[in-house]
Amino acid sequence: MKNKYKGSILLTTLLFLFLFSFLFQLILEDFQLTQRFSRKTSEYYTAKTMVSIFLYNIKQEKEKLKKEGQQKYSTGMLYYKYDQTTLNFRVRLDQTQATYQFQENYPKVEKIRLKYSKGNGY
């Protein structure tokens, strides 16, 4: 009982080709998403670090806070606007031309001068 199979392997080959193409596409898409996520995360933390450095310099009174202005850093430019209670930041990174916006609460704090009198015992 010899049955001779008369058919081609075209259908089987096409199915394997489709399967491997689909798997390759999934792997490639996962790789691209991982790369994009890593790049965007790095950009976000670079921009957030620029804002933190600016706020540190303001709090240490190394720079005077104006109503609006800009600050140049080695990785990009920081633009800010101050409206008595909040600071609005726009950070533009040089390398990727990405723009990030942040908002920080920063109420205006006036320095209080204490007067001491000599004779009250305090």
Question: Into how many domains does the chain fold?
Answer: 1
Residue 114 reports pLDDT greater than 60: no
End-to-end alpha-carbon separation of the chain, Å? 118
**In whole numbers, what is the pLDDT of the chain averaged over residues?**
86
Instruction: Kindly state whether residue 67 falls inside one of the protein's structural domains.
Output: yes
What integer pLDDT is reported at residue 42 of this predicted model? 95
Instruction: Kindly state whether residue 5 falls inside one of the protein's structural domains.
Output: no
Structure confidence by residue, pLDDT tens digits, 62-88: 667 889 999 999 999 999 999 888 899
Instruction: Kindly state whether residue 43 falls inside one of the protein's structural domains.
Output: yes
Residue with tokens 């392997």: 9
Instruction: Kindly state whether residue 120 falls inside one of the protein's structural domains.
Output: no
Split at pLDDT 50, 70, 90, the class of 8 is confident
Instruction: Kindly state whether residue 112 falls inside one of the protein's structural domains.
Output: no
Instruction: Kindly state whether residue 79 falls inside one of the protein's structural domains.
Output: yes
* Pairwise CA distance, residues 84 & 72, whole Å: 23
Domain that holds residue 33: 10-105
Global confidence as pTM: 0.71
Instruction: Kindly state whether residue 50 falls inside one of the protein's structural domains.
Output: yes
Least confident of 17-26, 38-47, 65-74: 65-74
In this prediction, what percent of the chain has a pLDDT beyond 70? 83
* Pairwise CA distance, residues 79 & 55, whole Å: 12
What integer pLDDT is reported at residue 35 of this predicted model? 97
Instruction: Kindly state whether residue 119 falls inside one of the protein's structural domains.
Output: no
